[in-house]
Amino acid sequence: MSRRWLRVLRTPLGLTTAALVVAVVVLAIVAPVLWSDRAEVYDTDNILAGPSGDHWAGTDGLGRDIFFRALVASRLSLELALAATVIGVLAGLLLGTAPLLLGRRLGRLVTTGVNIAVAFPGLLLALFFAVIFGVGATGAVLAIGFALAPSFARLVQTLVAGVAALDYVSAARVAGVGRVRILLRHVLPNIAEPLVVNATIAGGGALLAFAGLSFLGLGVQQPSYDWGRLLFEGIGMIYVNPAAALAPGIAVLVAGLAFNLFGESVAKGLGVSAVGGVPVPATSSRLTGHAGRRDGTDGSTHMAMAPSDLVLDVVDLRVSFPGPAGPIRPVRGISFSVRHGEALGVVGESGSGKSLTALAVAQLIEEPGRVEADRLEFRGADLRDGPRAHRHLLGTSMAMVFQDPMTSFNPTRRMGSQLAEVAVHHQGMTRRQAMARAVDRLRAVRVPEPERRATQYPHEFSGGMRQRAMIGMGVMGNPSLIIADEPTTALDVTVQQQVLDLLQAIRDEDDVALVLISHDVTVVGEVCDRVLVMYAGRIVEDLPAHQLQGGALHPYTRALVAAVPDMRTDLDQPLAVVPGRPVDPSDVPTGCAFAARCPLADDHCRTVDPPLAPTPTGSQVACWHAGEPLELDEGTGELVEAKS
């Protein structure tokens, strides 16, 4: 918390504005104490004088020193702005939290009222209040305060609504916690940061607004004076002594800027909070770019078929991101290949590097991420040349399906034209041909009424239908590889089955290879021929899918399989659990990364990392104790070394 605020101070703008704010506040406190007398002295010899050694900014009509008056005026200016801000923030808080406290009907009434008030111009509102409350400082404070209130109320309402919809507030309501207590304990602490930031910015605004009102003669009246009042007095003699108007003008400018920019830099500093762990590249936004990259340079030089029947050949793939303490390596050297028409499953816990592997292959890792490999070939083309060199090949021959199809489509464009775009850019079709192809492909992925569906927008599709359309987009070209990253995790079981069936059908029809990434061993076991099990950025086991049940050798694979209940699970036994936590990619231990959670681990495991080695059954496994007997501890559910 405090570290985040400190980070704000580390930026040049944050530090400068923070210093300025402190300086202005200190000035407001000390100036009247130190210089009140000098600001009030009538120097009758120097009436309306210009700048001089005695009077740096000249004197006013009564011979008073304008420079010192501007300094002393800082307290009143700040006090009034502060008072107005407090009124505005308090009124905003009351109005903004009212919907939560008052319940649905009354709350809606308040919301409507605030919405109308927000639409009303703020300055006009201030002028209106100034007339009602009378000309003078009190009226102006109330006027600016209440003019601030609607926009602040609106902000509070939005923030409150966002937090109130979260499960922890529901949980508190279920626990019988009252509304006021929910507001104080759960809602306000979680919206405090943006509120403080916005109040600071509003303070700067109030300062400027006050100067404006006083300048118009609607604010502070004689004999009191603030910066606006001084400006008002100085402007009359601007041709005689420009400094008389400039001094208070600069004061307003500096103070206003200080508050506004300080608020902004705090907002920026706190807003870009560091997300712990590995930065996840923005995959979805890149996807449409991937499919619809413009001016597709001809990549046909790389289209020559590979001599072998390998679609994808990866040797020693590594992905790294810069971290505060040296690079973080979520993928630490993995090798695998995919043959034509083969279905390869990749399983592992979140953070095992399975998704990053897929993104690296699809050339979707963004800066500052780095992809390195000894070999990274897709249909014979060397992908290490970078995505630009192969955009045509990638656009037509490799398809990517993501977990959440909603974020993979542009919500403002019709489905048909989004699919057609791929064919227009990569296959050189005309719009009409491409549209026909899109409808044909939607039919191929079993979207009912494809002609009508093509004219609809993404939000009109259900989750399962969108996932089909996503796959349809992938098969707009003639892909030889489909990479599906958790394609069914967000879907219902019945829909999941349909999508898996669809992927299977596309494979059978066109001999397409599939890389299916999932955390669900049962799904992978059902669809794939071969399974890679990943742990901490390495492949720990590579085995035929039918060996998953019973034939797995690595203790991690065995625990994963035994952790998932299926329709034949023994109800008298606990499910297997993997004790401990997954490895943090920024802190990978020496030796076998799984050793800390492994029942078979010994000192050798903790010092020497086992290589991925072939086994007699035709699989590969990275474990010094592969296949040693394990049994289920019925008390804890942990797999333990068999006592025999």
Partner 1 sequence: MKELRFDDVTVRYGTVRRPFTAVDGVSLVVPAGQVVGLVGESGSGKSTLARAAVGLAPIHSGQILLDGQPVPRRGRVRPLQMVFQDPYSSLDPRMTIGESVAEPIPPGSSRAERREEVARLLALVHLDPSVATALPGRLSGGQRQRVALARALAGQPQVVIADEITSALDVSIQGAVLNLVRELQRELGLSMLFISHNLAVVRYVASHVAVMYEGRIVEQGPVEQVLVDPQHDYTRELLAAVPGNRPTSATPHAPRTRSTS
Looking at residues 152 to 211 of the shown chain, list those that interact with partner 1 (rule: CB under 8 A): 166-168, 170-178, 185-186, 189-190
What sign for the dihedral angle of Cα 462, 355, 473, 363? positive
Task: Say whether residue 105 binds partner 1 (CB under 8 A).
Answer: no
Alpha helices in 373-455 (DSSP H): 391-397, 415-426, 431-444, 450-454
Question: Of residues 610-629, which lie at the interface with partner 1 (CB under 8 A)?
Answer: 629
Tokens standing for residue 427: 């296959």
**d(C-alpha 426, C-alpha 442), whole Å:** 18
Q: Judged by CB, which is closer to partner 1: 607, or 636? A: 636
Task: Answer yes or no: are the C-beta atoms of 246 and 253 closer than 8 Å.
Answer: no
- Cβ of residue 8: shortest distance to partner 1, in angstroms? 19
Query: What single string gives the DSSP state of each residue in 97-128?
Result: HHHHHH-HHHHHHHHHHHHHHHHS-HHHHHHH
Interacting stretch for partner 1, rule CB under 8 A, among 78-86, 357-365, 470-478, 559-567? 559-567
Q: Does 53 bind partner 1 (CB under 8 A)?
A: no
Within 10 A of 155 (CB to CB), how many other CB atoms are there?
A: 20
566 binds partner 1 (CB under 8 A): yes
Cβ burial of 335 (10 Å; 0-12, 13-18, 19+) is middle
Q: Do 35 and 192 touch, CB atoms closer than 8 A? A: no
Instruction: Tell me the closest approach of the beta carbon of residue 549 to partner 1, in angstroms.
Output: 5
- Confirm or reject binding of residue 564 to partner 1 (CB under 8 A): yes
Residues in the chain, total: 644
Task: State in angstroms the smallest separation of the CB of 314 from partner 1.
Answer: 23
Q: State which residue, 19 or 166, has the beta carbon closest to partner 1.
A: 166
- Based on CB atoms, which residue is closest to partner 1, 286 or 597? 597
- Listed in sequence order, the DSSP H helices in 445-541 are 450-454, 463-474, 493-510, 521-527
Rounded to a whole number of angstroms, the minimum distance from the CB of residue 387 to partner 1 is 31
CB 343 → partner 1: shortest distance, Å?
Answer: 8
Distance CA 296, CA 38 (A): 74
Pick from 471, 552, 598, 601 the residue near partner 1 by CB under 8 A.
552
Closest CB to partner 1 among 218 and 514? 514
CB of 296 or CB of 627, closer to partner 1: 627
395 binds partner 1 (CB under 8 A): no
Smallest gap, in angstroms, from Cβ of residue 170 to partner 1? Answer: 6
What is the distance between the terminal CA atoms of the chain, rounded to a whole angstrom?
53
Is 288 or 497 the residue whose CB approaches partner 1 more closely? 497
Three-state SS at 334: strand
* Closer by beta carbon to partner 1, 404 or else 520: 520
Q: Which residue number, 275 or 325, has a Cβ lying nearer to partner 1?
A: 275
Contact set for partner 1, span 321-360 (CB under 8 A): 349-350
- Is residue 632 close enough to count as binding partner 1 by CB under 8 A? yes
Residues 9-28 that bind partner 1 (CB under 8 A): none
Contact window for partner 1 (CB under 8 A) among 237-245, 401-409, 478-486, 563-571: 563-571
Residues 453-512 that bind partner 1 (CB under 8 A): 463, 492-497, 504
Residue 567 found at the interface with partner 1 (CB under 8 A): yes
Nearest to 182 by CA among 163, 197, 154, 198: 163
Distance CA 83, CA 203 (A): 9
Output the smallest distance, CB 524 to partner 1, in A. 9
Would you call 265 exposed, middle or buried from its count of C-beta atoms within 10 A (0-12, 13-18, 19+)? buried
